Structure 1
Amino acid sequence: MKNMLLMSGSKYQNTPYLEHTQDWLKHFLGNAHIKVAFIPYAGVSRTFDAYEQLVQNALGGLNNIEIISVHRSKKHSDIIEQADAIAVGGGNTYCLLKLLYENQLLDIIREKVLAGMPYFGWSAGANIAGASIMTTNDMPITYPPSFAALNLFPHQINPHFISGKMAGHNGESREERLAEFLIINPEATVYALPEGTALHIQGNNATVLGQSDILQFSKNMQMHTFAPNSTFQY
Structure 2
Amino acid sequence: MKLLLISNSTMAGEPYLDYPKYEIQKFLGEKPVTALFIPFAAVTFSFDDYCAKVEERFAEVGHHIVGIHTFSDPIKAIEDAEAIVVGGGNTWQLVRMMHDQKLMNPIREKVFNETPYIGWSAGSNVACPTLRTTNDMPIVDPHGFECIGLVPFQINPHYLDANAEGHAGETREQRIEEFIEVNPNLYVVGLREGSILKLEDEKLELIGDRMCRIFKKGEKPMEVTRESDFSFLIKNGF
Asked if TM exceeds 0.5, the reply is yes
Counterparts of 2:219 and 2:138 in 1: how far apart (Å)? Answer: 25
Cα separation, 2, equivalents of 1:12 and 1:206: 23
Structure with greater strand percent: 1
Q: Which residue of 1 aligns with 2:81?
A: 83
181, 184, 194: which one aligns with 2:182? 184
Q: Deviations over 1:93-145 (max 9, x none)?
A: 01101111111111110001000000000000000101111000001100112
**Superposed, which structure 2 residues align to 1:110-125 within 5 Å?**
110-125=108-123
What is the correspondence of 1:36-185 to structure 2 with a 5 Å cutoff? 36-63=35-62, 65-185=63-183
What letter matches 1:54 in structure 2?
K
The 8 Å contact of residues 82 and 115 in structure 2, kept in 1 or not, is answered as: yes
Whether the 8 Å contact between 1:130 and 1:152 is mirrored in structure 2 is: yes
Deviation (angstroms), 1:183: 1.2
* Contact map agreement 1:179 1:221 (CA 8 A) in 2: no
Cα offset, 1:5, TM superposition = 0.2
1:29 Cα offset (Å): 0.7
Q: Is the 8 A contact 2:37 2:86 kept in 1?
A: yes
Judged with a 3 Å threshold, the aligned counterparts in structure 2 of structure 1 residues 141 and 218 are, in CA distance, closer, same or farther, namely same
Gaps of at least 5 residues in structure 1 are none
Summarize deviations over 1:143-189 as a string: whole Å, max 9, x none. Answer: 11211111111111100001012211011110111111111112211
Q: How many residue pairs align between the two structures?
A: 232
Equivalence for 2:212:
214
Q: Find the aligned partners of 1:141 and 1:229 in 2 and give their Cα distance.
A: 39
TM-score normalized by structure 1?
0.95
> How many angstroms apart in 2 are the aligned matches of 1:49 and 1:221?
45
3-state SS, counterpart of residue 108 of structure 2? helix
Cα 1:229/1:120, change in 2 over 3 Å: farther
Q: Equivalent pairs: percent with the same residue?
A: 37
Task: With the length of structure 2 as denominator, give the TM-score of the two structures.
Answer: 0.94
Counterpart secondary structure, 2:59: coil
